[in-house]
Structure 1
Amino acid sequence: MADDLILDVQDVKKSYNGLEVLKGIGFSLRKGETKVLIGPSGSGKSTLLRCINHLTHPDAGKITLKGEEVVDSNIDAMRARIGFVFQDFNLFSHLTVLDNVRICQVKVNGIDPATATTRSHQELERVGLADKAEAYPAELSGGQQQRVSIARALAMDPDVLLFDEPTSALDPELTGEVVRVMQQLASEGMTMVVVTHEMSFARQAADEIIFMEHGYIVEQGSPDALFSGATNERTRAFLNVIAEHG
């Protein structure tokens, strides 16, 4: 249904110094869907995510969130509705975990501190860190820091949550704890776009997988369709390499 459409990306293009990184990307995302972007390094996946909330300005194309176009004049309000989980956590080192989760609710969304504190504790419990509220980022493992950044994004009550290779800075054991939280969110119906090389997450949690290369969408489909019967040779080759090194 049209009113279920959360995010619509149409013909997005981006170049850097004459090099086309995105060559006309389009996809749509409905409420409760998880779309996973895969592909080799340099294929444009992270640039696409950053274009969605204008951390990187697209050169052309149109991005709409629940029917409202994302443009410079409304970007602050739009970013408050588009959660972003970075690969390097982006936590404030001088703030406690609780304050890291609370600050944007108060400063950006104008939530009163008491309500923001309650919501922050709820989201920390949701990601398994209820006992770390008074700790500082330096006292946490990388996996714990990433879960704090997920809690921070969730506390803003976003329409969509973007993940940019959230486990790339983590070792395998810590990767697992972050992936489990992401799988839980997918099962709860969180609307998400995820750039990742974690194929187990893509298999289990994605409603659709989008394979990108050289700034194009090469192939897209359900996990079963891509893992069992990808029609494009490059998709098959990429998935085979990933499987061999997984």
Structure 2
Amino acid sequence: MRDNVMDSDLVLDVKGVKKSYGGVEVLKGISFSLHRGETKVLIGPSGSGKSTLLRSINHLTHPDDGKVYLKGEEVTDSNIDKMRARIGFVFQDFNLFSHLTVLDNVRICQIRVNGVERDKATRRAYEELERVGLSDRADAYPAELSGGQQQRVSIARALAMDPDVLLFDEPTSALDPELTGEVVKVMQQLASDGMTMVVVTHEMSFARQAADEIIFMEKGYIVEQGDPQTLFTGAENERTRAFLNVIAEHG
């Protein structure tokens, strides 16, 4: 947990973000900040706007109103390519290139986006694959890997870009339960290592152990936020308590 955080450590500042689809307001003015080394976990029922919020941060979804700042610089359409190179994104469905090996999947963006020399990109790719426990599968193709392994490759790919912040959108939702643990373990280690992260997840064990702050969203609003101890044992809002109780019942 972080105490007495200085403004110089502010990495991500989300201010009043709104988004509507077909007249339905999905995000109703979301604001939060994220400091260096923090892990924030977004929870809430399906349709509450969590994934839309993540996608709005790096303009995969263009917000209708509000602003997003990355280390004091506004994220805009005009600078989005540069900003996306600094905002790592781990998707639900891995998004790996099926025709490329694991090694090539991890190094391709380093070379094409960041202009990293091939040998250096290769070394970095192996470092990050080692970090997620997959350096021995560098020559494999995605179809030869389990879902958990594919997701760990996508995490390695994001890390190899040296992002300022890493966004996770339900990274275990496409996995069989027995494969979820290996991905959660990697994410917990990243949190322990001080990676700056925003994570949308229903994995409450991860939220309890790794989050500096949990944000509960519903119907496009932030209903309640606080540290894990506060929310799990003494949530003030009735909807927060009800949601956490349902999650606990379904284990």
- TM superposition score category, shorter chain reference: over 0.9
What one-letter code is carried by the residue in structure 2 that aligns with 1:71?
T
- Give aligned-pair identity as a percent: 85
Separation in structure 2 between the aligned mates of residue 11 and residue 105 of structure 1, nearest angstrom: 33
Name 2:11's counterpart in structure 1. Answer: 6
Q: Distance in 2 between matches of 1:173 and 1:101?
A: 25
Deviations along 1:99-154, one digit per CA (max 9) or x if unpaired, are 00000000000000000000000000000001000000000000000000000000
Q: For residue 173 of structure 1, report the CA deviation from its aligned partner.
A: 1.2
Q: Is 1:64 aligned to residue 69 of structure 2?
A: yes
Please state how far the C-alpha of 1:2 moved relative to its aligned partner. 1.1
- One-letter amino acid of the counterpart of residue 175, structure 1: T
In structure 2, the partner of 1:149 is 154
Give 1:172 deviation, angstroms.
Answer: 1.3
**What is the CA distance between 1:171 and its match in structure 2?**
1.1
Given the alignment, which residue of 36, 39, 43 partners 1:34? 39
**What is the DSSP-based 3-state SS (H/G/I as helix, E as strand, rest coil) of the residue aligned with 2:42?**
strand
Aligned-residue RMSD, C-alpha: 0.3
Which runs of structure 2 are paired with 1:1-246 in the superposition (5 Å)?
Answer: 1-246=6-251
TM-score (norm 1): 1.00
- In structure 2, what is the Cα distance between the partners aligned to 1:22 and 1:145? 31
Gaps of 5+ in 2: 1-5
Superposition misfits of 4+ residues, deviation over 6 angstroms = none
Q: 1-side partners of 2:90 and 2:15: how far apart?
A: 23
Query: In the alignment, residue 113 of structure 1 is paired with which amino acid?
Result: R
Classify the secondary structure of the residue corresponding to 1:162.
Answer: strand
Q: What CA distance in whole angstroms lies between the structure 1 residues aligned with 2:70 and 2:20?
A: 23
AA aligned to 1:76 is D
Q: How many residues align?
A: 246
Q: Distance in 2 between matches of 1:216 and 1:243?
A: 22
Q: Quick one: distance in 1 between partners of 2:7 and 2:14?
A: 15
Separation in 2, partners of 1:170, 1:17: 31
Shift of 1:92: 0.2
**What are the Cα deviations for residues 162-209 of structure 1, in whole angstroms up to 9, with x where unaligned?**
000000001111000000000000000000000000000000000000
Secondary structure of the equivalent of 2:47? coil
